[in-house]
Amino acid sequence: MNKFLLTFAALAIIFSPITAQKAFAIWNDATTNFATVGIIDLNTANSTANFVNTGFYFTSNTTETYNSTGATSSTYNPATGLISYIATEASSGIVHLNTVDTNTWKLFNSSKVMNMNLGNLAYDQTADPYNIFATITTGDGYLYVTKLSASDSNYKVIDKIPNVYPNATGTFIANNNYYAVCFVNSTGLTNCNYYTLDGVVVNRYNYQATGVAYPWVPFSAPYMLTYLPQQKATLCLVFLQNKSYADFYGRYQFFWLSSNSQLVDTYWSLQLVGKHYYGSLFGDFSLPRVYQFVMDGSDPNPYMQTYSTYNNQWVKTQKANNFVLNAWGFV
């Protein structure tokens, strides 16, 4: 009887909603298009504004079908409570690195980012002056891996990778304090480099997608690389093409990054099919769940999709009040 009750209680924890389940989030306001930082309730999929960056809008990190970017343009540091993000000043078109303090909900800093494309921001979760990992491209054919300062946007180059296609993706892997960057080189191979807090390369892997059944074939590098703290695993999106169609037809699918240089298909229910814009992809800190915001080009309403990593399937889709671009740090 006791074992039954314990089992029942465990299942209740896994499958029942938790009323306090919330996360920090960012989005562009639907009316003003101003960059907004606030809190999202993961039970209702609704978000509430705590700070509005008037005059700025978020440089989108969404992935759009057939025209993919998906580079993470924002990051949260649980050690300091700071959220840093790439935003564009509407009046001038100048890109800035802006930082909001979630302890006070005030702007901590705003610095111009000139003559470069900045992306894949990831706090290393320390209070070090240079504590944001990021990638930079300048049009010279190299991908620069850097450590960046939230106070003034100055940076230090820790690696210089030649012959890289523009779409790289990165995330901070908290269980071993590594920054991972995945990209496709000129030979078409998917590579992932792993860096320590000091910027030392500890691993360089070539990855191949596995578990994909014909007529679907991988057609892209990983997008939206995301570390899941509850699962201690890394998830991404890969674009698949259907080879049985004469015209270009495809979809995105979730893949795990395995420890043996493979991108492993999750086989989750393909709720992403038909959705043209993919926003934040993030994991739950206490439940075995993954969330993603999506929006169809023909439907102005954003939706939050929930997947279970416990039973490896889609759980539900909910209409949301904002199209969340990124979310982290449960509160």
Mean pLDDT over 4-28 rounds to 58
Using DSSP, state whether 8 is helix, strand or coil: helix
Cα 143–chain centre separation? 19
Q: Determine how β-strand 223-228 pairs with β-strand 216-218.
A: unpaired
pLDDT given for residue 253 in this prediction: 82
| Fold observed for domain 22-330 | Neuraminidase (2.120.10)
List, in sequence order, every residue forming a beta bridge with 117; answer none if it has no partner: 137
- Provide Rg for the chain, Cα atoms: 19
Buried b (16+ CB within 10 A) or exposed e, 120-129: bbbbbbeeee
Q: What is the DSSP string of 72-97?
A: --EEEETTTTEEEEEEEETTT--EEE
Q: Determine how β-strand 262-265 pairs with β-strand 201-210.
A: parallel
pLDDT at 279 over 70: yes
pLDDT given for residue 136 in this prediction: 93
Residues 289/315, Cβ–Cβ less than 8 Å: yes
* Percentage with pLDDT > 70 across the chain: 85
pTM for the whole structure: 0.88
Domain segments of the chain as ranges? 22-330
Residue position matching structure tokens 């698949």: 240
pLDDT at 15 over 50: no
Confidence of residue 247 (pLDDT cuts 50, 70, 90): low
Q: How far apart are CA 272 and CA 264, in angstroms?
A: 17
Q: How far apart are CA 35 and CA 85, in angstroms?
A: 10
- Residue-wise pLDDT for 54-112, tens only, equals 999 987 655 554 444 456 889 999 999 999 999 999 999 999 999 999 999 999 999 99
Q: How far apart are CA 252 and CA 198, in angstroms?
A: 34
- Residue-wise pLDDT for 152-180, tens only, equals 889 999 999 997 876 789 999 999 999 99
Residue 111's nearest CA partner among 130, 94, 98, 101 is 98
> Residue 98 carries which DSSP code?
E
User: What stretch of H or E contains 223?
Assistant: strand 223-228
Structure-token pair, residue 53: 């960056």
- Residue-wise pLDDT for 200-221, tens only, equals 999 998 888 888 888 888 877 7
